[in-house]
Amino acid sequence: MSEWSPPDDNGIKTLNLDVGAKRTMRGKRRRRSVLEVPASIAVLSEDQKGLIRSWIKGAAARKKWNNLLKTSGFSCLLLAEELLQMLLESGWVEVEEHRAARGWEPMWVEFLAYEDLREHLGLSNRDKEKSQAENLQADFEIDALKIAAANLDSLPAATKIKRHELFCGLESWLQEGRQGTRRDFSLFARGKTKDISSAEWLWLESQVDLASFGIAAHTPTVRIKIPGGLVFPEGQIDFRLLPGAVALTEKQIRRGVESVGEISCWKVVENLTSFEHVVASSGETEGVIWVPGFAPSWWIKSIKHLLSLTNIPGKIACDPDPAGLLIASLVGEIWKGLNVNWNPWFMDPSDFEGKGPMIPMTEHDIGLLHTFNQRKGNHPSLVELAQWLGHKKMKLEQESFVN
């Protein structure tokens, strides 16, 4: 039985297989490095790495050398041969060679640490993906996500991981009370506004009701009562001619160049039912704005521009719960950032005690309360409410008392 030869000057050992007489041009041999752990190939240029990436697609670790040359293009023959030798000496491949008229020629290339090499070159390590996919936690708190998560097991590991990530994003998005466009959610879940593909959006639509998660496919609008007018480059619109509230896009609001008419204050209300009540009961000079939970970027930009035109104090009313504390504080920063006065409104215990059913706080609420308490520069009135909530461990929804 043949044995591996001692290594040559390049650290390559050889195992002869079926070696006939030299004159018969028959014979096969296998060659590989003595390295037990493959050496780094980080010094390769991006073009060189790209060529190797083209070789390691697919599942088979053993590939015909001629097929790899076809993938490379025969115009890159010399580069391909140099890279094969480098991979051999670095311990990444074993080469099976057959003797031909010109000497020993590669016939088969077996990648010894196939998935590790893929990872080394910036491709996915499918072994790790499979392990990660098998160990994903599916204990979502939201029923719709629990049901949808049951369908993940039928997907390939890489796809399962990415779509599980989207479900986690949806749960966090809803728990934080966020609303916005698909781009807002993409930014929230993946850090970029266009990082969720069309195929992924179609799949999400087939699994859950995106509208129920506060994700709009179309341009969202700011619901607002403006007790005056806005001047645009083309002319002026007097919103006092329109009864109640209107819905304006960020683009429409930010085209305004001047405010006209008397506005005594801006009342910001979180709960939509309460917003409608406040619009109906507000005075002629009082503006009213609905904040859709944790304010999305388009809402913040709209209100910043509107406030820069009006410079009017704000009264901010949110649910007397930990999320409401954070929402009010974050909205208040818009006024604070423009050096305009603002105060919490309907957020003192005397405003709501005995006026609605109190609800026990959840662990998520307690976590949000801790987040609020860690913030610096919170409004004193909100700090008092936070202390009250922490003591009572109870919360309330504002629609039962704000009108």
Assess if residue 58 is contained within a domain.
Answer: yes
Comparing C-alpha atoms, which of 220, 209, 212, 211 is closest to residue 181?
Answer: 220
Assess if residue 346 is contained within a domain.
Answer: yes
Strand bridging mode 103-111 / 93-100: antiparallel
CA angle at 192 for the pair 191 and 193, rounded to the nearest 5°:
130
- Give dist(CA 374, CA 378) in Å, integer: 9
- Give dist(CA 198, CA 182) in Å, integer: 11
Instruction: Look up residue 159 and give its DSSP letter.
Output: H
Q: What is the mean pLDDT of residues 185-204?
A: 90
Assess if residue 5 is contained within a domain.
Answer: no
pLDDT digits (tens, 9 = 90+) for 361-390: 988 789 889 989 998 899 999 999 999 999
CB neighbour list of residue 40: distance below 8 Å, 6 or more residues apart: 90, 120
For the chain, the domain total comes to 3
Assess if residue 335 is contained within a domain.
Answer: yes
CB 334 within 8 A of CB 304: yes
Comparing C-alpha atoms, which of 9, 7, 19, 11 is closest to residue 97?
Answer: 19
20: phi then psi, degrees, rounded to nearest 5: -95, -170
pLDDT digits (tens, 9 = 90+) for 159-174: 888 888 999 999 999 8
Assess if residue 365 is contained within a domain.
Answer: yes
Task: Please indicate, yes or no, whether residues 233 and 299 belong to a single structural domain of this protein.
Answer: yes
Task: Please indicate, yes or no, whether residues 83 and 205 belong to a single structural domain of this protein.
Answer: no
pLDDT digits (tens, 9 = 90+) for 305-335: 999 999 999 999 999 999 999 999 999 999 9
Task: Please indicate, yes or no, whether residues 105 and 144 belong to a single structural domain of this protein.
Answer: no
Task: Please indicate, yes or no, whether residues 228 and 363 belong to a single structural domain of this protein.
Answer: yes
Give just the sign of the alpha carbon dihedral 338, 324, 180, 259.
Answer: negative
Task: Please indicate, yes or no, whether residues 67 and 139 belong to a single structural domain of this protein.
Answer: no
* CATH label of the domain that carries residue 303: 3.40.1360.10
Task: Please indicate, yes or no, whether residues 229 and 203 belong to a single structural domain of this protein.
Answer: no
10: phi then psi, degrees, rounded to nearest 5: -95, 5
pLDDT digits (tens, 9 = 90+) for 62-107: 999 999 988 877 667 888 899 999 999 999 999 999 988 788 999 9
Q: Which of 78, 106, 123 is the last residue of a domain?
A: 123
Exposed e or buried b per residue across 178-201, where buried means at least 16 C-beta atoms within 10 angstroms of its C-beta = bbbbbbbbbbbbbeeeeebeeebb
Q: Which of 104, 123, 142 is the last residue of a domain?
A: 123
Q: Average pLDDT over the chain, rounded to whole? A: 88
Assess if residue 6 is contained within a domain.
Answer: no
- Give dist(CA 169, CA 180) in Å, integer: 14
Assess if residue 1 is contained within a domain.
Answer: no
Task: Please indicate, yes or no, whether residues 187 and 331 belong to a single structural domain of this protein.
Answer: no
Task: Please indicate, yes or no, whether residues 276 and 152 belong to a single structural domain of this protein.
Answer: no
Q: Say yes or no to pLDDT of 356 above 80.
A: no
Domain that holds residue 367: 222-400
Q: Which residue has the higher pLDDT, 209 or 251?
A: 251
pLDDT digits (tens, 9 = 90+) for 8-35: 988 999 998 876 555 555 788 999 999 9
Assess if residue 174 is contained within a domain.
Answer: yes
Burial of 160 (0-12, 13-18, 19+ CB in 10 A): buried
